[in-house]
Structure 1
């Protein structure tokens, strides 16, 4: 049986989601906890990768178990799994899905949020980007509208990324004030590596009036990463949601 594991993590201690040989990752910790709990080697496949220091309030990974669990059993399994995981990683829920469901390839939409605080706060050191400079939020929102729709976003992609296409369909992109922080929220069908951080850095340049709206149009058209702004730091970025077609989830009793 295949299941989706819905997890959240504080990414400060980790070299991102994806397992790698020279750094501790969230995937490694999840696989280790599952393997210890179930006393067999367990591998998981995530919805995508996040960079070192990036956080997630929701990321899905799929896993295959020999045993078929009912919803109550899945709740108990999630509870027990949380006991084996480090404090910085939590399982929100485990959900039964169809046999062919894929956490990465079946995702239809992903959402990120980037948090900025402009007054020094020691409790946000690893959770938000401290950016003191005054920015023009209205200008940043005007610029963000240029990102909407299906476009080639190679200018915001990390160099030497092995992808077949740089096309992404951005469905939502806007800045807002939430409590005492400035937040950028963006939703798309897919994102390129480093894309959101590069977008945030470029939009901050717009807010500082270093980059104009017309400049941004030219940056997007250029396809050159060197034309866009510097990437914003990883610790302000959160993966907040991954969405899937309803039909891949198995209702109880089926």
Structure 2
């Protein structure tokens, strides 16, 4: 058996999230069932992280142990022909046997998409708002995040994590026509963290929270002081980074 990393993307609208759950359909369950059917043996996969219900992924990496793949392109084609239309395998790469999709990841990047006007074509794919917030203030607030390490104020309450420390390397807003896109990269993220950050930055953009107020929220380490979480449908996991040394070729 050899270990492979699979790059997958999906529209999360129909799923309870990435991770398998009882009585709800997950992306992980669909992928494992498809692989098991194709390989005619039970296959388990391990993801780089988990996305919540309704969240999308442009690149989620999973590792899986399979017999040697002689024709990668053919396997990708066969998998995609069996998977539902909202899940796609885009790459399969051989890695060293001890490589782990979650524990060896050194960075994760998310985007949050907001449409500043109603669009029938973005329903389920972006958060839609009616009034343009102050992008300059939101970027000032976003840049402040790079100065902090403890993000307990943006973590889901009663979370069982051992540490709230994250190293944010990038956080900024950009605009493309009627679309606002927030990009954030860190070594790790807490549950609900990105959506809580987006909701809080929107409060800054609308003048509900000041820059000084954001500093107070961060210092408080209290989730109830931060803004409401932005809806799941606007969130995309866009990239998972790894050291090049774990790949075979």
Shorter-chain TM-score: which interval?
Answer: over 0.9
**How far off its partner does 1:45 sit?**
0.3
1:208 equivalenced with 2:206 (yes/no): yes
2:223 alignment partner in structure 1: 225
The number of residues matched between the two structures is 248
Residues 22-61 of structure 1: pairs in structure 2 closer than 5 A: 22-61=23-62
**How far off its partner does 1:118 sit?**
1.0
Whole-Å separation in 2 of the counterparts to 1:30 and 1:179: 36
1:95 equivalenced with 2:96 (yes/no): no
Whole-Å separation in 2 of the counterparts to 1:54 and 1:158: 16
Residues 116-135 of structure 1: pairs in structure 2 closer than 5 A: 116-135=114-133
With normalisation by structure 2, the TM-score equals: 0.98
2:162 alignment partner in structure 1: 164
Unpaired stretches in structure 2, ≥5 consecutive residues: none
The 8 Å contact of residues 149 and 171 in structure 1, kept in 2 or not, is answered as: no
Whole-Å separation in 2 of the counterparts to 1:245 and 1:217: 34
2:151 alignment partner in structure 1: 153
With normalisation by structure 1, the TM-score equals: 0.96
Whole-Å separation in 1 of the counterparts to 2:16 and 2:94: 29
Whole-Å separation in 2 of the counterparts to 1:185 and 1:74: 32
Name the CA shift for 1:221/1:194 in 2 (closer, same or farther; >3 Å). Answer: same
Moved over 3 A (4+): none
The 8 Å contact of residues 17 and 50 in structure 1, kept in 2 or not, is answered as: yes
Whole-Å separation in 2 of the counterparts to 1:147 and 1:100: 34
Unpaired stretches in structure 1, ≥5 consecutive residues: none
